[in-house]
Amino acid sequence: MPTDPRPRREGSADEAAALAFAAADSQTEPASPGAAAVTDASAHDLQAAREARIRRLLDFEAGWTSHGGAKARAIRAEFGWTTTRYYQVLDGVLETTEALRHDPMLVRRLLSLREGR
């Protein structure tokens, strides 16, 4: 039985979960071709919101012990997700450049833990 980790495929469920998390509440379409300036501002706002969500997730992961009690309860209270969903989203977020920019040490530690499994 091989013990090597499975190779990651492009478009995996983890990446889809991370993209869904990052794009939450971001379904806007321009009303007319003249709305290009509004679209640029909206794109900037969406990018800022995505980065804020990634920071929130990584900050929680870095300091979840300060919440006290079981991590599963803290995940449910903070995000309203099951632990399975939380780890799916976290796994996908680890692949983003925003995550690496926000907390490179945490991201590298989590990636090395993931590779060790």
How confident is the model over 62-115, as pLDDT tens digits? Answer: 987 666 668 888 899 889 999 999 999 999 999 999 999 999 999 999 999 988
For 19-61, the pLDDT digits (tens) are 555 555 344 444 555 555 556 778 888 888 999 999 999 999 9
CA dihedral sign, ordered 9, 86, 89, 85? positive
For the segment 5-20, what is each residue's pLDDT rounded down to a tens digit? 555 555 555 555 555 5
State how far the Cα of 17 lies from the Cα of 35, in Å rounded to an integer: 30
CA distance 114 to 110: 6
**Band (3; pLDDT cuts 50, 70, 90):** low
Alpha-carbon Rg for the chain in angstroms: 17
Q: How many CA atoms lie within 13 A of 15 on its CB side?
A: 7
pTM of the model: 0.62
